[in-house]
Each structure stands twice: as C-alpha cells, then as structure tokens.
Chains A and B, each alone.
Chain A
Amino acid sequence: MASKHITMALAGNPNAGKTTIFNQLTGARQKVGNWAGVTVEKKEGVREHKGIQFTVVDLPGIYSLTAYSMEEVVSRDFILKEHPDVVVAVLDASNLERNLYLACQLIELNIRLVFAMNMVDMAKDKGLLIDYEQLARLLGVPIVQTVGTKGIGIEELLDKVREVVEGADSVSRHIHINYGPEIEEEIQTIKGVLKGKTPEFAARYYPRWSAIKLLENDPLVIKELASCPKGDMVLKQAEASRTHIKELFEDEADVIITEARYGFISGALKETVKLSAVAKRDMSYEIDRVLTNRLLGLPILLFFMYLLFQSTFILGEYPQSWIEAGVAFIADVMGHVLPDGLAKEMIIDGVISGVGGVVVFLPNIVILFMGISLLEDTGYMARAAFLMDRVMHLLGLHGKSFIPFVMGFGCNVSAIMAARTLESRRDRILTILLNPLMSCSARLPVYVLVAGTFFPKHAGNIIFGIYLLGVGIAVLMGRIFSKTIFRGEATPFVMELPPYRMPTFKGLIIHAWDKAKAYLQKMGGVVLVFSVIIWFLGAFPKDVPLSMDYEAAKATLEERLAQSGLSEEDSRAVKEEIANIEQKEAAERLQASYIGRIGQAIEPVIRPLGFDWKLGVSLLTGFVAKEVVVSTMGVLYQAKANEEEDLSGLQAALKKSGMTPVTALAFMAFVLIYVPCMVTIVTIWRETGSLGWAGFAISYLIVLAWIVAFGIQKIGGGIYGFVGG
C-alpha cells in the first residue's frame, strides 16, 4: 500500500553526522556542532520526494537506549510512544563498532529500520574496507551509504525509507541477538510471564525487548510495568532472573548483556570489514599534540578566548560606524518629513532612539557567535573541555560543563539547554545556576557603550575584564554551592574527542545570518515594543507642575534672538541659554513622568551603588532582554542630547550625566551579574523542572550583583578619589 505521508525519526550517536543529514533532508538552516550532543532539542522538518511527504524528526544524539541520560529517554520515548513509520539510524562508518551498539538496541525494538551509513568517505580514508551489503544482510536492516557533508546518498535514503515502509525491501528482517543459553532462557521465562499476566503491556512494547530491559534493570520499564495490574508479578520474575544470572556469572545481567552485544558486533565486523594498508595519516594527532599539550594547551585556549573578545570589539567597530551613520540619517530624514506631533515624538524619541541604539551592536554579536561556532565546528570545543577539566573541578564540576559555559557567552538560553548533555542532575543544576554569570552577547552592547564612553582607549581590555569577572565569580559561587547545597562528587567525565574538521565557509555564513536574523527580529519585537513603552512612560503625563514657566522664559529669549543688531557672540549665548532651558524643562518633565516616579521609587536601593534613577530604570527594563538596557538609556538620556540621536550622542549624554568611570565599572558589573533575561529564567525553570531553582537563581544573582557593584564603588571610589583628589 502506498502511503502519501511518512514520518521518519533520525537516531544516532553524537558526532555521527545526524544534524548534517537532517539539514540535507529538510534544508533546514541550523547549526552543526562538533561536540557530543549538540542536538538537544527535538527538531522537525519536511521534505517532498517523489510525491510523498516526509516528516523528519531529529532525535538527540545518544550512545545507547538505556534510561541513562535525558537524551536517551527523549529518543526512546519518541520511538516507542510516537511510533514513527521508520527510524533511520545514522551510523558513522569510520567508527562502526560503537555506532553499531546503538544500532543493535534499535534492532531489538523490532521496529522498521534503515541504516544511513554516514561518512563512508572518511572510513575509506582511514583504510577501512567495509562490505555494506553483507553487513546489511547480517543485521537484517538495509544500509544506504551517505556522505552528509556533500549531500551524497540523500535521495537513495528516501527511496529506501519508502521501500521499507511499503514492505518492498528484500533485506529487512527481524534478527535476534543471541545472548547465550542461560540468558535466553531467562528472557523466555520473563516473556512468558509478561504475556500471561500483563497482555496489555506485551502488546504495547515488543515483549522480547521488554524482557531484555527488565534483565538490564531498566528503571523506566520497571516503573511503567509497576503501574500495570499484575505488573508486580512480572517484576518479581525479573528480579528472580537477575539474581539467578548473577549467581551463574558472578556479574550483573546488564553487564553480561552489554558484553554479548559487543560480542555480536565484533563477530559481524570480523566478517565484513577489512583493513587496507593504505590508511591516510590523521592530522588530528599532530594538531592535538600542540593544542592539548600539558604546558601549551591552556595558554593557547586563553589566547583564543582573548582573540575572540578582542576581535568582537575591534572588527565590529567598522560596520558599527556605518550602521550608526544610517540610523542618524533615518532620524534626520524623519525629523524633516514627519509633521510635528505625538507620532513624530514617538518615532524619533521612542523607536529610533531605542531600536537604533541597539541595532548598531549587530556586528559585534554576529562576530561573537561566528567565533563560538568556529570553535565548535572545528572540534576544538571538546579539546577545551579536556583542558578545562581541572579548572572546572574547582567549581565542583568537570570538563564537559565547560561547553555550556562557553556557549553562555553567546546566549544563556541555548547554553542552559546544552547542559542536558551532563549526566547527573547535580551537575546539570549547578551548571545551569552558574551559567548566567557567563556574560551573554545581549549584555555586550551595554559594555561596548559604557566602556567605549568612559574607557575609550582600553574598551577591549575592560570588556575582557568584565567577562573574566563573571568567570571568577562563577568559580567562587561554584565552590560555595558545591560545598553547601550540592555536596558530593562530580560524576565521572567521559567524552568523545571528535576529529578536527574544517568548518565550511558556507556553514559559517549561514550561521552568522541566522544569528543576525534572530537579533533583528528581537529588535523588531521586544526591543521595539519596550522602546515605545519606555518612551510613553517618559513622555506622559504631559501636564505636570513645573518649577517655572519655561515657555515664557523661552519666548522672552527667542524674542531677544529675533531682534536685529545682536552680535554673533550674543546670539550664540542666547541660543545656548535656550538650549539650557529646554534641557532643564525636559529633565524636569522626565522626572515627573511615570518612569521618573518608578525610577525614584527604586532609587534608594541603587543609590549606594552610585546609579541614578535612569540607570535604575534601564536595569529594570533589562529584565525583559538585556538589549533593552541600552535602548532604555537611549530613550531616557535623550532629554539631554536631543540634537544627536546617534550613539555618540548617547555617549556624550552619559558623560554629562555625572557618571564617573568607577560608577561605569560598577554598572557594568551589575549588568553582568544581576537577573538574567526573562527567557533565560523561563529556560531555567523548564530545564530544572522547578520554579524554586529559577527563583533561587534570580535572588542569589541580584544580591550578588548588588554586593559586587557596591564593592567596586567603595574600593574604586576610594582609589579614584585618592588619585583624582
């Protein structure tokens, strides 16, 4: 029967090239990482092929189908409960033994399978001669050879999937991996009890698989079975079988079963794989000798990080000035074209000041993300995890946590989701709680603005210092947390070291474009809305009691200006006075506005830090998204720099506001540490599964931010006062 619609799930080891195959299948523009477990989310895509609609679901990268990690549970649940028409296992041909381990477990599920034998070119380079046809026959699963990076074999894969769904494939048959007479006997016994006592469960999952899982002491199968009527009788039998096997082999049943699977695999490989003499030498060894060197490794890593942040600032400067000029031009045009009134005020003071203030940082963010994805795609990130293992132990974590930390410099949301690759809940929550201290790219505009204003010559170094401050505090808090709330050892550190890969230029560009698009969407959405809201709160109420009649004062001055016979000097002085009065008026109006009242209400809390109420309001709105901090400043400080809406205007306004370099430092530190953005909070909540942890993250970060900013203000104020006075 020809079906018009086929759902296929992609399963496979991390680094087997699953994401690349997924992209080739669906054309989805998304990232290919190179370290274990980049695909933590379930991704879907569609593809038309020869009149059939394929829905492709990308499952997270896994090594096994136990219930060991979240990814495994997610993948298994999808396969067992959503019943995709076909599961395509993407296998790395250059690393067959371990990849086939997962394949064996998929075979045991008794589902429709196709193996996409990926990276066949790399296997050839390694000198492996593999008889894929023979292997397919042995496994009872059709094999399609693919090279994901070049798009080879994708059409054939879809053809094969269709054949398997239609039952037209000649290779497909269900094989049993033989676990030896003793274990097979126990499997039969459990299967018998399972079918007899819990027929409903036996119908839900393939009974042989359930029996094997029960022997393996799989917590999820046990839990599900326990909720079935008479399930306890099956569990009792399973318990007895496990004890029996332990007595026989003096080893746990799950260990025996794992060894038997590997035995089966090595048997199959012996028959199908030959090693040719002409193996290309892998460059990875030479590179690793330097990059993971005991003495050189860490300095090189630090150098790369330093390079990343410096180039973010320096390279970003050029396109930044172009965008700045563009924004100024638009503001100028709008100023002339639009009729005076509220709408004009809103567009120029709200939208252009707010959004324009933030959009100039687009180049910095794109460069930062490109740098991070370069580290990932080349495979360097896994080396960094290795190098940082000892450092991460200081935080009570191990090297693998370093990856979410580095990703945090891009965006805490994706970084917190990447923490799923950590096996233990303790490591995961600790990594998540510390992650907001990794300064995300949305905070970068604040630093670029403030550091650029107050430390124009050393902005790059100051910003690098702020990032280091975040890391330092993370180490400190990690130590405190792992000695108090999270006592106990970090789980063992096991990770695959992928071979180095040359990142493709196209991939980098696609990735950069993705980030730019996301950033611009944020500008058009959240930042735009909040700029208008902030403008509104700042512009209303209109009829506030003023300390003097500004209009009258202005009118008198303007009259004087209109008089003829004023010397040039005099007329300039009068003009200045008008500007002064206008500024005073605007400042007074702002203070009396809604936002001024909110700002003054919170001012007592931030006064000790040296922040005025405008900074306070900016921080408050930054909770929505960190970019909004700058756009709010753009709108609020506007009052003093009405003529120049561009960034240098904002910089000038900040300087005039009485902010000292010390306050600037305290402010940057505060922005670094205090509450992460809303989306991050929601992600923490989702990933930890508890509102409590999200609340804890908010409160400890706010308190910490206050303490650090206060410290900087006190210490720095002392030094500054001493040097300056």
Chain B
Amino acid sequence: MYLSDVKNGAIATVKHIDSGCEMYRRILELGIFPGTRLKILQNVPEGPVIFEKNGSKMILGRGMAQKIRVE
C-alpha cells in the first residue's frame, strides 16, 4: 500500500521510498525514512496528503505520496 491510499486518521509505518536520489534525500532530511510512523490527517483524492509526525504537520504532494510504500 502507498501513503496516497491511506485513509484519514489512520497511522502508517513507512516501508520503502521508491524515488530518485535527490528527492529521496529530501524526504529523509525531513525525518521520514523506513520505520517512521505517520498519522494521516487529510488525504485528498487526487490531491496532496497532510500527515503528522512527532507532533509536526507536513504536506506531501500526491506524486510523492504515491512513491512512499507504507503498512
């Protein structure tokens, strides 16, 4: 399952990030890497995802969310 498929309010654990180097590092720098637990706050169909990690909220575009495999 990908982050883009997670329902509002659910908690997901990042498994793998299927993306190119530069973006991967960017995501890592924001503190998201395999094993990170995220709480999905808003998942807009065809739009971006808002999630929470350790009390801070972030927006991730759909393109990116479709590349983060979660459980």
Contacts and interface: CB of A to CB of B under 8 A. Distances in A.
Instruction: Say whether A and B bind each other.
Output: yes
Interface of A: 63-64, 66, 68, 94-95, 97-98, 101, 126, 252, 254-255, 258-259, 262, 282, 284-285, 288, 292, 294, 382, 385-386, 389-390, 398-399, 423, 489-499
B64 A493 contact: yes
Contact of B44 (A385, A390, A499): A390
Given A390-B44, A489-B63, A258 B25 contact: yes
Interface of B: 19, 21-31, 33, 41-42, 44, 46-48, 50, 54-64
Given A254-B25, A259-B33, A262-B31, A386 B59 contact: yes
A292 B50 contact: yes
A398 B31 CA distance: 22
A97 B56 CA distance: 10
Given A255-B28, A389-B47, A496 B56 contact: yes
Contacts, number: 108
Contacts of A492: 19, 23, 26, 60-61, 63-64
A38 B63 CA distance: 25
7 contacts: A97-B31, A252-B24, A259-B33, A285-B41, A382-B59, A496-B59, A497-B56
Interface of B is mostly: mixed
Nearest to A496: B58
Nearest to A94: B55
Given A258-B29, A292-B42, A496-B57, A252 B21 contact: yes
A491 B62 CA distance: 11
A292 B50 CA distance: 9
A287 B24 CA distance: 31
B29 A495 contact: no
Contacts of B48: 386, 389, 398-399, 493
Contact of A284 (B54, B57, B61, B62): B57
Given A259-B33, A262-B33, A494-B30, A385 B59 contact: yes
A63 B25 contact: no
Nearest to B27: A494
A491 B61 CA distance: 9
B44 to A, nearest CB: 6
A488 to B, nearest CB: 12
Given A254-B21, A292-B42, A389-B48, A399 B29 contact: no
Contact of B60 (A258, A292, A494): A494
Nearest to A69: B26
Given A259-B33, A389-B44, A390-B47, 7 more contacts: A294-B42, A385-B59, A389-B48, A390-B44, A399-B59, A492-B26, A492-B63
Return the 5 tightest CB-CB contacts between A and B, nearest first. Answer: A493-B61, A497-B57, A492-B64, A258-B28, A495-B59
A373 to B, nearest CB: 21
A489 B20 CA distance: 14
B56 A95 contact: yes
Most buried by B among A98, A285, A382, A399: A98
B46 A390 contact: yes
Contacts of A494: 26-27, 30, 58-61, 64
A98 B31 contact: yes
Nearest to A491: B23
Nearest to A65: B29
B43 to A, nearest CB: 9
Contacts of A126: 55
A493 B58 CA distance: 10
Most buried by B among A259, A386, A494: A494
A430 to B, nearest CB: 16
Given A66-B25, A399-B61, A98 B30 contact: yes
Nearest to B34: A259
A141 to B, nearest CB: 20
A493 B24 CA distance: 13
A647 to B, nearest CB: 45
Contacts of B64: 492-494
B54 A95 contact: yes
Nearest to B28: A258
Most buried by A among B23, B24, B42, B48: B48
Given A262-B33, A492-B64, A493-B60, A97 B54 contact: yes
Contacts of A386: 42, 48, 50, 59
A497 B58 contact: yes
A281 B24 CA distance: 33
A101 B58 CA distance: 16
Given A386-B50, A389-B48, A399-B48, A497 B59 contact: yes
Contacts of B58: 494-497
A262 B47 contact: no
Given A292-B42, A390-B46, A63 B30 contact: yes
A68 B26 contact: yes
A285 B71 CA distance: 24
Contacts of B31: 97-98, 101, 262
A385 B22 CA distance: 23
A527 to B, nearest CB: 41
Contacts of B47: 389-390
Contacts of B21: 252, 254-255
Nearest to B45: A294
Contacts of B33: 258-259, 262
Contacts of B26: 68, 423, 492, 494
Contacts of A385: 59
A495 B58 CA distance: 6
Contacts of A258: 25, 28-29, 33
